[in-house]
Amino acid sequence: MGNIAVLRAEYVDGLSLKVFFSDKTNRVIDFSDFLLRHPHPQYNKYQKPSLFKQFTIRCGNLIWGKHADLSFPVEALFAGDLELCE
C-alpha cells in the first residue's frame, strides 16, 4: 500500500465522513456501526454527531480528542473496513 495518509476529511452526516487520501482517492466511511458495537468510556462521547464532527488530521491520521481519544489505522480507513481495527 505504500505510505498512504489522510489529507483531509469532510463531515457527511450522522457518524460518516468523506476521507481524502494522499493517493488522490476518497471514501465515505460510516463509523456508527463500529462506535455502537465497541462501547468504551474514552470515546463513547463521539457517538454524538456534534462531538464526532470535531475531528482533526494530525500527521496523516484522523483523530478525535486533544489526546487522541479515538483514532483508526490509515490502512483500515483506506480499505473502508473498520473491522480491521478489532
Pick from 23, 1, 15, 9: which is nearest to 82 by CA? 15
Q: What is the pTM of this model?
A: 0.90
Do the domain assignments include residue 1? no
d(CA 41, CA 18): 26
Q: What is the pLDDT of residues 28-65, one digit of tens each?
A: 999 999 999 888 888 899 999 999 999 999 999 999 99
**Is there a domain that residue 66 lies in?**
yes
Query: How many domains is the chain built from?
Result: 1
Looking up cell 465497541, which residue turns up?
38
Could you tell me the CATH number of the domain that includes residue 62?
A: 3.30.2020.10
Answer yes or no: is 67 within a domain: yes
29, 19 in Cβ contact below 8 A?
yes
pLDDT digits (tens, 9 = 90+) for 5-28: 999 999 999 999 999 999 999 999
